[in-house]
Amino acid sequence: MTDVRVTHIGGPTTLIEVDGWRLLTDPTFDPPGRRYSFGWGTSSRKTSGPALAVADLPPVDAVLLTHDHHGDNLDTAGRALLPTADVVLTTPAGARRLGGNARGLAPWTTTRLEAPGRKTIDVTATPARHGPPLSRPVTGQVTGFALRWEGQRHGVLWISGDTVLHDGVRHVARRLDVGTALLHMGGVRFPLTGPVRYTMTAAQAVELCRLLAPRTAFPVHYEGWHHFRENREAIERRLASAPADIRDRFRWLPAGTGVDVTV
For helices 202-212 and 167-175, give the axis angle rounded to 10 degrees: 30
> DSSP character for 30?
P
CA distance 163 to 117: 35
What are 141-177's pLDDT values in tens digits? Answer: 999 999 999 999 999 999 999 999 999 999 999 999 9
Which carries the bigger pLDDT value, residue 53 or residue 263?
Answer: 53
- Over the stretch 119-135, which tens digit does the pLDDT of each residue have? 999 999 999 999 999 88
pLDDT value at residue 192: 83
- Percentage of the chain lying above the pLDDT 90 cut: 93
Average pLDDT, the chain: 96
**Residue boundaries of the structural domains of the chain:** 3-253
- The string of DSSP codes covering 215-229 is SEEEEESSSSBTT--
Whole-number Cα distances in Å, 89 to 6, 31, 119, 135, 247: 19, 25, 18, 23, 32
CATH code of 3-253, in short, is: 3.60.15.10
The yes-or-no verdict on residue 238 having pLDDT over 90 is yes
Q: What is the pLDDT of residue 1?
A: 58
d(CA 142, CA 129): 6
Determine the pLDDT at residue 228. Answer: 96
Lowest mean pLDDT among 85-99, 127-141, 235-249: 127-141
